[in-house]
Chains A and B, each alone.
Chain A
Amino acid sequence: MSKPNSKVSQKNSATIDRREFLTTTGLATGAFVLGFWVPPKTADAAIIAGAPWYEEPEVQEINAWIVIDPDDMVTIRIAQTELGQGVWTSNAMMVCEELQCDWSKVQPQYASANRDARESAPEWTLDVMGDGAFDPIGGGEPLFRGREPVRGIPDSLYRRMRTNEASSVRDGRYYLQLAGAEVRERLLLAAAGQWGVPASELTAKDSVITHQQSSRTTTYGQVAYLATETPHPNPETINIKPPSEWTLMGKEQNNLDVPAKVTGELVYGIDVRMPGMKWAAVRACPVYGGDVKSYDFDAVRDQPGVQSAQQLPIPDPSLLRGRQFSGAVAVVADSWYQAKTALDQMPIEWDIPPQSATSNTADMHQELMDAMDQPGTVRVDEGNVDAATVSADKIVEATYSTPYLPRARMEPGNATALVTDGRVDIWLGDQSPQETRRSASVITGIPEENVYIHLCHLGGGFGRNGNGPQAEQTIMIANANRGTPIHLLWTREEDFVGTTYRAMGVARLRAGLDADGWPVALEVRTGMQEDGFGPTSSFNDTSRYYVPNYRFTNHMTQFHIPCGTRRGVGQAAHEFYRETFIDELARTAGKDPYLYRRELIARTDLPHRDDMIRALDMVAEMSDWGSPLPEGKARAIALEEKGAEASGTATISAMVHTVSVSREGVVRLDRVDVALDQGFSLINPLSVKKQLEGQIVWFYNDAMHQANTVLNGRIVENNFDRFSVSRIKEDPPEINIQFFETGHWMRGMGHDRATSVQSGIGDAIFQITGKRFRDLPFSQHDLSWG
Chain B
Amino acid sequence: MAINLEVNGASYSVEVDPQTPLLWVIREQVGLTGTKFSCGIAQCGACTVHLDGVPLRSCRVPVVAAEGKSVTTIEGLSREGDHPVQVAWKEFDVPQCGYCQSGMIMASLALLEKNPNPTDAEIDTEITNICRCSTYHRVRQAIHRAAELMQTREA
Which A positions have Cβ atoms within 8 angstroms of B? 44, 46-47, 82-86, 254-255, 257-259, 261-268, 270-271, 273, 304, 335-338, 408-412, 457-462, 489, 491-492, 686, 690, 693-698, 719-721, 725-729, 731-733, 735
A725 to chain B, nearest CB (A): 5
Q: Taking the nearest CB of chain B, how far is it from the CB of A87, in angstroms? A: 11
Among candidates B44, B127, B139, residue contacting A410 with C-beta atoms closer than 8 Å? B44
Report A-chain residues with C-beta under 8 Å of the C-beta of B134.
693-698, 726, 731
Q: Which of A257, A720, A732 contacts B98 (CB 8 A)?
A: A257
Q: Tell whether, in the assembled complex, residue A720 and residue B137 are in contact, meaning their CB atoms are under 8 Å apart.
A: no
Chain B positions within 8 Å of A268 at CB level: 36, 99
List, in ascending order, chain B residues with CB within 8 A of A409's CB.
97, 99, 132
- CB within 8 Å for A84 and B95 given contacts A263-B77, A492-B41: yes
Name the B residues within 8 Å of A46 (CB-CB): 31-32, 75
Name B residues whose Cβ lies closer than 8 Å to a Cβ of A: 16-17, 20-21, 24, 28, 31-41, 43-44, 46, 73-75, 77-78, 80-81, 86, 89-90, 93-102, 105, 120, 123-125, 127-140
- Quick check: A411 and B44 within 8 Å, CB to CB? no
User: Which 7 pairs, one residue from A and one from B, show the smallest C-beta to C-beta distance?
Assistant: A264-B34, A459-B99, A84-B96, A261-B98, A84-B97, A697-B134, A729-B124
Q: Give Cα distance in the complex from A459 to B37, angstroms.
A: 11
Rounded to whole angstroms, the CA-CA distance of A255 and B17 in the bound complex is: 41
B74 contacts which chain A residues (CB < 8 A)?
Answer: 263-264
User: What are the residues of chain B within 8 A of A304 when measuring CB–CB?
Assistant: 17
Q: Give the residues in chain A near B139, CB-CB below 8 Å.
A: 728
Nearest B residue to A735 via CB reads B137
Partner of B94, one of A257, A258, A461, A727: A258
Contact assessment for B130 and A412 in the assembled complex, using a CB-CB cutoff below 8 Å: no
Further contacts, 10 of them, CB under 8 A, given A258-B93, A461-B97, A690-B135: A270-B33, A273-B33, A337-B21, A411-B99, A457-B98, A459-B100, A492-B39, A719-B39, A721-B43, A728-B127
Known: A264-B35, A335-B28. A693 touches B98 (CB 8 A): no
Q: Could you tell me if A459 and B98 are in contact, using CB atoms closer than 8 angstroms?
A: yes
The answer to whether B97 and A686 touch across the interface, beta carbons within 8 angstroms, is no
Question: A690-B135, A727-B127 known; A720 and B44 CB under 8 Å?
Answer: yes
Q: How far is the CA of A491 from the CA of B41 in the complex (A)?
A: 10
Contact of B93 among A460, A690, A725 (CB under 8 A): A690
Q: Is B21 touching A410 in the complex (CB atoms < 8 A)?
A: no
Given A262-B105, A273-B31, A719-B39, A254 and B132 touching (CB < 8 A)? no
User: A271, A458, A696: which contacts B97 (Cβ < 8 A)?
Assistant: A458
Q: How many Å lie between the Cα of A259 and that of B34 in the bound state?
A: 13
Bound CA span A472–B78, Å:
38
Task: Return B85 CB to nearest CB of chain A, in Å.
Answer: 8
User: Distance in Å from the Cβ of B48 to the closest Cβ of chain A?
Assistant: 12
Which residue in A258, A270, A731 is a CB contact (below 8 Å) of B137? A731
Q: Is B43 in contact with A261, judged by CB distance below 8 angstroms?
A: no
Known contacts A411-B38, A696-B134; is A733 also within 8 Å of B120 by CB?
A: yes
Known interface pairs A266-B98, A462-B132, A690-B93. Does A410 touch B38 (Cβ–Cβ under 8 Å)? yes
Min CB–CB distance A684 → chain B (angstroms): 10
Query: For residue A273, which residues in chain B have a CB less than 8 angstroms away from its CB?
Result: 31, 33
Residue B140 contacts which of A82, A267, A731 (CB distance < 8 angstroms)?
Answer: A731
- Cα A461 to Cα B97 with chains together (Å): 8
Contacts of A698 in B (CB 8 A): 134
Question: For the complex, what is the distance from the CA of A460 to the CA of B135, rounded to whole Å?
Answer: 12
Q: A262-B90, A273-B31 are in contact. Are A492 and B81 (CB under 8 A)?
A: no
Q: List 19 A-B contacts (CB under 8 A).
A: A46-B75, A47-B31, A262-B89, A264-B32, A265-B34, A268-B36, A409-B97, A410-B36, A410-B46, A459-B36, A492-B39, A492-B41, A693-B134, A696-B134, A720-B39, A720-B41, A729-B125, A731-B134, A731-B140
Assess whether B40 is in contact with A410, with CB atoms less than 8 Å apart.
no
Interface contact A457-B35, CB-CB below 8 Å: no
Contact A728 B78, beta carbon cutoff 8 Å: no
Of the candidates A266, A491, A686, the one having the most CB atoms from chain B within 10 angstroms of its own CB is A266
CB of A726 to closest CB in B, whole Å: 8
Q: Which residues of chain B come closer than 8 Å to A719, judged between CB atoms?
A: 39-41, 43
Known contacts A267-B33, A335-B28; is A255 also within 8 Å of B93 by CB? yes
Residues of A within 8 A of B46 (CB): 410
Cβ of A660 to closest chain B Cβ, rounded Å: 15
B85 (CB) vs chain A CBs: closest residue? A262
A263, B75: Cβ atoms under 8 Å?
Answer: yes
User: Contacts A336-B28, A720-B43 hold; do A264 and B75 have CB atoms under 8 A apart?
Assistant: yes
| C-alpha spacing A698/B133, complex, angstroms | 7
**Which A residue sits closest to B46, measured CB to CB?**
A410
Residues of B within 8 A of A270 (CB): 33, 36-37
Q: How far is the CA of A572 from the CA of B147 in the complex (A)?
A: 38
* CA A673 to CA B81, docked complex, whole Å: 34
- Tell me the complex Cα distance, A85–B40, Å: 26
Q: How far does the alpha carbon of A266 sit from the alpha carbon of B99 in the complex, in Å?
A: 9
Q: Known contacts being A694-B135, A729-B124, is A412 close to B37, with CB within 8 Å?
A: yes
Q: Are B34 and A410 in touch, CB under 8 angstroms?
A: no
The answer to whether A694 touches B32 (Cβ under 8 A) is no
- For the complex, what is the distance from the CA of A771 to the CA of B35, rounded to whole Å? 45
Q: Which residue of B is nearest A85, CB measured?
A: B96
Given contacts A270-B36, A462-B132, is CB(A264)–CB(B73) below 8 Å? Answer: yes
Contact status A411-B127, CB under 8 Å = no
| B133 in contact with A84 (CB, 8 Å) | yes
Question: Of the candidates B39, B81, B128, B135, which one forms a contact with A263 in the assembled complex, judged by CB atoms under 8 Å apart?
Answer: B81
Taking a contact as CB atoms under 8 Å apart, the answer to whether B20 and A337 are in contact is yes
Min CB distance A783 to B, Å, is 20
Q: Which residues of B contact A255 (CB under 8 A)?
A: 93, 95
Q: Kindly list chain A residues whose C-beta atoms are within 8 Å of the C-beta of B32.
A: 46, 264
Q: Residue of B at shortest CB range from A461?
A: B97
* A466 vs B51: C-alpha distance when bound (angstroms): 38
Q: CA A686 – CA B139 in complex, angstroms? A: 15
Partner of A83, one of B43, B80, B97: B97
Given contacts A460-B133, A728-B127, contact A412 B38 (CB under 8 A): yes
- List the A residue with the shortest CB-CB distance to B124: A729
- Chain A minimum-CB-distance residue to B17: A304
B128, chain A: closest CB distance, angstroms: 5
Contact A727–B31 (Cβ < 8 Å): no
Residues of B within 8 A of A265 (CB): 34, 75
When distances are taken between beta carbons in the complex, the residues of chain A under 8 Å from B16 are 335
Report chain A residues within 8 Å CB of B90.
254, 258-259, 262
* C-alpha spacing A258/B39, complex, angstroms: 23
Q: Which residues of B contact A410 (CB under 8 A)?
A: 36, 38, 44, 46, 97, 99-100, 130-132
Expressed in whole angstroms, the Cα–Cα distance for A5 and B61 within the complex equals 39
What's the minimum C-beta distance from A663 to chain B, rounded to whole angstroms?
Answer: 20
Complex CA–CA separation, A423 to B5 (angstroms): 40
What residues of chain B lie closer than 8 Å to A257, measured between beta carbons?
A: 98
Give Cα A257–Cα B74 distance, bound, in whole angstroms.
Answer: 16
Nearest CB of chain A from residue B18's CB, rounded to whole Å: 12
Q: Which residues of B contact A258 (CB under 8 A)?
A: 89-90, 93-95, 98
Is B81 within 8 A of A693, CB to CB?
no
**For residue B100, which residues in chain A have a CB less than 8 angstroms away from its CB?**
410, 459
Contacts of A44 in B (CB 8 A): 31
Return the contact of A728 from the options B17, B81, B86, B123 (Cβ within 8 A).
B123
Question: Nearest residue in A to B76 (C-beta to C-beta)?
Answer: A264
**Interface-centre pick from A336, A410, A696 (highest chain B CB count, 10 A):** A410
B33 touches A47 (CB 8 A): yes
List, in ascending order, chain A residues with CB within 8 A of B20's CB: 335, 337
**Residue in B closest to A701 when the chains form the complex, CB atoms:** B134
Once the chains are docked, how many angstroms separate the CA of A273 from the CA of B130?
A: 26
Cα–Cα distance between A533 and B90 once the two chains are bound (Å):
37
Q: In the docked arrangement, what's the CA distance between A44 and B27, Å?
A: 12
A336 touches B24 (CB 8 A): yes
Given contacts A728-B140, A729-B125, contact A337 B93 (CB under 8 A): no
- Assembled-state Cα–Cα distance A84/B17 (Å): 36
Provide the residues of chain B in CB contact with A266, threshold 8 Å. Answer: 98
**A residues in contact with B73, CB < 8 Å:** 264
